[in-house]
Amino acid sequence: MIKEQFEMTGRYKQWAYALMGVGVLALVLGFVFLKPTGDANSFGVTKFWAVLMHNSIFFLLITIASMFFISATTMAMGGWQTAMRRVPEAISGFVYIGGAIALVVLLGYVFGSQNTAIYHWKDAEHVAHDKVLNGKKGFLNPTFYSIATILVIGTWIALRHWYRKVSLAEDAGEQGDRSYFWKTIVICAAFIVVYGLTVGSTTPWLWLMSIDAHWFSTMYSWYTFASSWVAGLSLIMLFIVYLKNQGYLEYVNEEHIHDVGKFMFAFSIFWTYLWFSQYMLIWYSNQPEETVYFQPRLKGPYSGIFYLNLIINFVAPILILMKRSAKRNYATVTFMSVVLIFGHWLDFYQMIMPGSLKGDENGGNSIGLFLFDMGVAAGFIGLVMLVAGNKLTKASLLPKNHPFVKESIVHHT
Amino acid sequence: MSLLKYESTLREPLVDGEKTYHQVTEDICRPVEEKANTGWKIGFTISVALLLFGVYSVYREVTYGIGQWNLNKTIGWGWDITNFVWWVGIGHAGTLISAILLLFRQGWRTGVNRAAEAMTIFAVMCAGQFPIFHMGRVWDAFFVLPYANSRGPLWVNFASPLLWDVFAISTYFTVSLLFWYSGLIPDFATIRDRAKTKARKLWYGVVSFGWTGSTKHWQRHESLSLVLAGLSTPLVLSVHTIVSFDFATSVVPGWHTTIFPPYFVAGAIFSGFAMVQTLMLVTRKVMKLDDYITLGHIEAMNKVIVLTGSIVGIAYLTELFMAWYGGSKFEFDAFYKYRIAGPYGWSYWTMMTCNVISPQLFWSKKLRRNVAFTFIMSIVVNIGMWFERFVIIVTSVYRDYIPSSWSVYYRPTIWEVGFYLGTFGLFFTCYFLFSKFAPVIAIAEIKHVLKTSGESFKEKMDVIEKESVEHFAHEHAHAH
Residue of A nearest to B253 (CA): A285
Residues of B in contact with A205 (CB under 8 A): 321, 325
Distance CA B44, CA A237 (A): 54
pLDDT at A87 over 80: yes
Residues of B in contact with A2 (CB under 8 A): 470
For position A229, what pLDDT does the model report?
97
- Across A326-349, average pLDDT: 96
- Across A135-143, average pLDDT: 93
Distance of CA A261 to the CA centre of its chain: 18
- DSSP H helical segments within A108-218, as ranges? 124-129, 131-136, 142-172, 179-197, 203-207
Q: Is B315 on the interface with A (CB under 8 A)?
A: yes
Selected residues 155-174 of chain A with any CB under 8 Å from a CB in chain B: none
pLDDT at A367 over 90: no
DSSP state of B30: H
Q: How far is A135 from chain B (nearest CA, A)?
A: 7
- Across B381-387, average pLDDT: 96
HSE-CB at A108 with a 13 A cutoff on CA atoms is: 15
> DSSP secondary structure string, A58-109?
HHHHHHHHHHHHHHHHHHTT--TTGGGTHHHHHHHTTHHHHHHHHHHHHHII
For chain A, domain boundaries: 10-400
Chain-chain contact of A281 with B11 (C-beta, under 8 angstroms): no
Phi then psi dihedrals of residue B15, to 5 deg: -130, 120
For position A63, what pLDDT does the model report?
96
* N- to C-terminal Cα separation, chain A: 26
Cα–Cα nearest to A388, from A97, A99, A90, A61: A90
B/e letters for A244-253, b = 16+ CB within 10 Å, e = fewer, are: beeebbbbbb
Distance CA A137, CA B325 (A): 9
For position B467, what pLDDT does the model report?
84
For position A1, what pLDDT does the model report?
52
Given a contact cutoff of 8 angstroms between Cβ atoms, the answer to whether A90 and A388 are in contact is yes
pLDDT at B4 over 60: no
Q: Which of A131, A200, A220 sits opposite B314 (nearest CB)?
A: A200
Question: Percentage of chain B surpassing pLDDT 90?
Answer: 64
Q: Is B480 on the interface with A (CB under 8 A)?
A: no
Chain-chain contact of B261 with A412 (C-beta, under 8 angstroms): no
Given a contact cutoff of 8 angstroms between Cβ atoms, the answer to whether B119 and B431 are in contact is yes
Cα–Cα nearest to B378, from B281, B293, B240, B294: B281
Bigger pLDDT: B16 vs B354: B354
Given a contact cutoff of 8 angstroms between Cβ atoms, the answer to whether A163 and A91 are in contact is no
Q: Which of A131, A285, A406 sits opposite B250 (nearest CB)?
A: A285
Given a contact cutoff of 8 angstroms between Cβ atoms, the answer to whether B291 and B285 are in contact is no
pLDDT at A365 over 80: no
> What angle is formed at CA B278 by the lines to CA B272 and CA B283, rounded to 5 degrees?
120
- DSSP H helical segments within B249-326, as ranges? 260-286, 295-325
ipTM of the complex: 0.93
For position A176, what pLDDT does the model report?
84
Chain-chain contact of A222 with B262 (C-beta, under 8 angstroms): yes
Q: Is B256 on the interface with A (CB under 8 A)?
A: yes
Q: How far is B116 from chain A (nearest CA, A)?
A: 21
DSSP SS3 for A119: coil
Distance CA A239, CA A226 (A): 20
Taking one residue from A and the other from B, the number of pairs with CB-CB distance under 8 angstroms is: 114
pLDDT at A364 over 80: no
pLDDT at B233 over 70: yes
- The overall average pLDDT reported for chain B is 91
- Amino acid A88 reads P
Residues of A in contact with B258 (CB under 8 A): 217-220, 277-278, 281-282
Q: How far is B250 from chain A (nearest CA, A)?
A: 6
> Whole-model pTM?
0.94
Q: Is B452 on the interface with A (CB under 8 A)?
A: no
For position B1, what pLDDT does the model report?
37
> DSSP secondary structure string, B394-429?
HHHHSS-SSGGGPPPPP---HHHHHHHHHHHHHHHH
Query: What are the tens digits of pLDDT across the range B340-375?
Result: 998 999 999 999 999 999 999 999 999 999 999 999
Residues of A in contact with B469 (CB under 8 A): 175, 398, 400, 405-406, 409
- The overall average pLDDT reported for chain A is 92
Query: What are the tens digits of pLDDT across the range B443-473?
Result: 988 888 888 888 888 777 888 888 888 888 8
Q: Is A77 on the interface with B (CB under 8 A)?
A: yes
Q: Is B243 on the interface with A (CB under 8 A)?
A: no
Query: What are the tens digits of pLDDT across the range A241-277?
Result: 999 999 999 899 999 999 999 999 999 999 999 999 9
For position B9, what pLDDT does the model report?
85
Query: What are the tens digits of pLDDT across the range B276-334?
Result: 999 999 988 888 888 999 999 999 999 999 999 999 999 999 999 999 999 889 999 99
Chain-chain contact of B6 with A136 (C-beta, under 8 angstroms): no
Given a contact cutoff of 8 angstroms between Cβ atoms, the answer to whether B86 and B271 are in contact is yes
Chain-chain contact of A196 with B318 (C-beta, under 8 angstroms): no
